[in-house]
Chain A
Amino acid sequence: AQSVTQPDIHITVSEGASLELRCNYSYGATPYLFWYVQSPGQGLQLLLKYFSGDTLVQGIKGFEAEFKRSQSSFNLRKPSVHWSDAAEYFCAVGAFSGGFKTIFGAGTRLFVKA
């Protein structure tokens, strides 16, 4: 069965430090992968997506993610975190299994300390 695992429920980083949020997926075919961000009281906003081609994907707000098929991972990175990046981050996989499904991970809450 398809699934998405985000191992870290929450992460705290200092402003200016680098960030990596982990995501592992389970899917038999080539996945369509997404990272979304949700600020408090808001809906989800797409940061980036991977469908095919270059395995390093650039997104908005300085984020990037790397698809590693051998590890079934799609980790999100940012070289220098800003206080405004504090939010919840969701990894998702688009899959077709008896119908269209987008499966979301449980999310990782990012806290940024000054």
Chain B
Amino acid sequence: ETGVTQTPRHLVMGMTNKKSLKCEQHLGHNAMYWYKQSAKKPLELMFVYSLEERVENNSVPSRFSPECPNSSHLFLHLHTLQPEDSALYLCASSPTPGVNTEAFFGQGTRLTVV
């Protein structure tokens, strides 16, 4: 149990569907992140939230829409995805968003776009 929980663990969706990924952390952290992990590619940082405010958006397509209603919850809303968006989506949290802080990861959501 890492303290960061992601649901669902697996998701298959069509290109016209709308779905959401959920992340919850029970560690009292102030920063939360979404990462994309594709096969044979480095982990890609998508979004960073600090105290519910988005502080980083790494040129992610608008078909990915994050939401952070409070410091414990993070969502990634998905719509009109493409097959190349199939990947493992990892949520992480850290005490602060600084460069010297360890990140705690959830187990990820395996997304398949058909």
Q: Hey, which bits of chain A sit against chain B, CB under 8 A?
A: 4, 32, 34, 36, 41-46, 49, 51, 90, 92, 94-96, 99-107
Contact = CB atoms under 8 A, between A and B. Distances in A.
Contacts of A99: 48, 55-56
Interface string B32-49: 000000001111010010
A90 B100 CA distance: 16
Contacts of A4: 42
Contact of B43 (A46, A49, A95, A104): A104
14 contacts: A32-B100, A36-B105, A43-B2, A43-B6, A44-B90, A44-B103, A44-B105, A45-B105, A94-B99, A95-B99, A101-B45, A104-B43, A106-B41, A106-B42
B43 A41 contact: no
A4 to B, nearest CB: 7
Contacts of B43: 44, 90, 92, 104
Q: Which of B6, B41, B90, B100 has the most CB of A within 10 A?
A: B100
Nearest to A32: B100
A11 to B, nearest CB: 16
Given A46-B104, A94-B99, 19 more contacts: A4-B42, A43-B92, A44-B90, A44-B92, A45-B2, A46-B102, A51-B100, A92-B43, A94-B98, A99-B48, A100-B55, A100-B56, A100-B97, A101-B56, A101-B99, A102-B45, A103-B42, A104-B43, A105-B42
